[in-house]
A and B are shown apart, each in its own frame.
Chain A
């Protein structure tokens, strides 16, 4: 039981490049989330998916797209990376009626 896994762990991009961050969970959770964490800003919600087939914007969705590929997987795509997207990205999942969020280990992204 791996919990929530994320790939890659680290990534360096040049401005304008694109990439997809992958997230998978094996806990049969319905809801999945993408956050970014910046110094002094706390965790901010980018997008979330309440169930397979649905996605909704969070607090800071601009510059990102998501895909809920199936119940297990929720990917985050940066179409044209910008230096302002340098951050640590966390994926999380939650049970339907429970409230604890389980987080993946994070992806450290640097955009130069």
Chain B
């Protein structure tokens, strides 16, 4: 079993739709959590950190459930420019990050 698991998708949604991704992690000692975005053939870039209390950044909302060991990302009012792969990332300590394989999102007109 992978340490960080994501549904690879693709999720095909129309512009304006709301879409949610989940990610589960197996190491209960994991310390911090992130969502990264990766565009085709580009490097990953931080989208947002995920806090226990949940956090929001514009159209994006991230949630952490430590008891069930999952992280979620909600995107509201999807834009064409949101089309990308979203990587769930877990910091297990000592500055070592573990990456999920990513969930691909395709937003169509």
Name the contact of A94 in the complex, choosing from B45, B87, B95 (C-beta under 8 A). Answer: B95
Query: How many chain B residues touch A (Cβ–Cβ < 8 Å)?
Result: 21
Are A105 and B42 within 8 A (Cβ)? yes
The 6 closest A-B CB pairs, nearest first, are A103-B43, A42-B101, A43-B99, A42-B99, A100-B46, A31-B95
Q: Number of residue pairs across A and B with beta carbons under 8 Å?
A: 45
Chain A residues within CB distance 8 Å of chain B: 31, 35, 40-45, 48, 50, 58, 90, 94, 99-101, 103-106
* Complex contact B101–A103 (CB within 8 A): no
Smallest CB gap from A40: residue in B: B101
Decide if A99 touches B49 in the complex (CB within 8 Å).
Answer: yes
Q: Contacts of B54 on A, CB cut-off 8 Å?
A: none
